[in-house]
Structure 1
Amino acid sequence: MPTPAPFTPDPDPAPRPAPAAVVTRTRTGGWWTGLVLSAVVLLFLLIFVLQNNAPIQINFLVWTGTLPTGVALLLSAIAGLLLVAIPGGLRILQLRRAAKQGGRRAR
């Protein structure tokens, strides 16, 4: 019966690729993404305002004025956003204050 040849390791094995590094999300990356998206939205708003520049007459209570259509619509959207954001921000502050005071329930 023939004897098996002794095991000899390969003298120069092929190098294995290094494992890929895991990249986690960072706060800076989130800010950068937010800034890029904000710039794109502002660009679209600018295009909207420039394309809708026909003047319209605006009447509010005793005030009367003329504004380009795009500007009037943009101002009304900002006013609507403020109607939602201000009470929401105040509620968040109220909940934070309650959490700092020992978790009492905010009503």
Structure 2
Amino acid sequence: MAAARPTPPLASATNGSPHKPKTGRVATPNFSRTSTDPGEVPRSRAGALWVGICVAALVLVALIVFMLQNTEPVLVSFLGMEGTVPLAIALLIAGVGVGIVALVIGTVRITQLRRRRHHTG
């Protein structure tokens, strides 16, 4: 029977271990998106686009169901004008209006940041 080889004691960070980072920072493991598993396919933009299209399709189906269930006419007043429209259409128009306002505000902010970067850098 062979004798078991003794394992060396673990080096502490205070005794000049060669594994201690010289910069004083704690070493962090390098996690990457690629896997060592040969069966795993790496993520791509096309895959992310496909997921986005699937989510958009589900939202569209939910929106269609909402519109079909809310067809009662409601009185809508806007800037002195009045009329009756189905509830779903009124809410859809309001939602699209909010989306347009958000896009305009976001575009103004992005333009502002690009100009600032262009002038300072």
TM-score above 0.5, yes or no: yes
Q: Over alpha carbons, which structure has the higher Rg?
A: 1
Where is the helix percentage greater, Structure 1 or Structure 2? 1
Structure 2 gaps of 5+ residues are 1-36
Paired with 2:82 and 2:57, the residues of 1 have a C-alpha distance of 33
Bigger relative CO (Cα 8 Å, ≥ 6 apart): 1
Point out 4+ residue stretches in structure 1 off by more than 3 angstroms: none
The two structures have a TM-score, normalised by structure 2, of 0.61
C-alpha distance after superposition, 1:64-107 (max 9, x if no partner): 111100111111122122222211122113323433x26x28xx
1:78 to 96, 99, 106: 96
Q: How does 1:9-20 map to 2 (within 5 A)?
A: 20=38
Give the count of matched residue pairs. 85
CA RMSD of aligned residues (A): 1.9
The two structures have a TM-score, normalised by structure 1, of 0.68
Paired with 1:47 and 1:56, the residues of 2 have a C-alpha distance of 18
Structure 1 position 49 matched with structure 2 position 67: yes
Q: How does 1:1-107 map to 2 (within 5 A)?
A: 20-99=38-117, 101=118, 104=120
Structure 1 gaps of 5+ residues are 1-18
Paired with 1:93 and 1:29, the residues of 2 have a C-alpha distance of 29
